[in-house]
Amino acid sequence: QVQLVESGGGLVQAGGSLRLSCAASGSGFTINAMGWYRQAPGKQRELVATITSGGNTNYGEFVKGRFTIARDNAKNTVYLRMNNLKPEDTAVYYCNCNADRGTISIRYWGQGTQVTVSS
């Protein structure tokens, strides 16, 4: 099993910034791609950003340069720096990772961290 522990969510005013962190732990696995998704009330979960172990990144279209994803491979930790936050960014943000064990690849999800942006 791989466990993902998220931190860094909270309440921020519009225009403010937050940094989310997510640490993966578990023995016998190789952590490959890691990423963040979000889900607002009444909406489907959507991609925020992903990053491979080699550092290649992919962002949701709504990000438009406001968010930056990074990772520390030695710590199996992924970060999401969010700047110029807007009320529409309010959502539960979920960390995920793809973990390989031999020929098996499994996707794991964190419990989610709430981000609330007030206007």
Give the per-residue pLDDT at 13.
Answer: 98
Asked if 69 contacts 58 with a C-beta cutoff of 8 angstroms, the reply is no
Q: How far is CA 58 from CA 8, 23, 25, 66, 69, in A?
A: 21, 19, 23, 13, 9
Give per-residue pLDDT as tens, 48-88.
Answer: 999 999 999 999 999 989 999 999 999 999 999 999 999 99
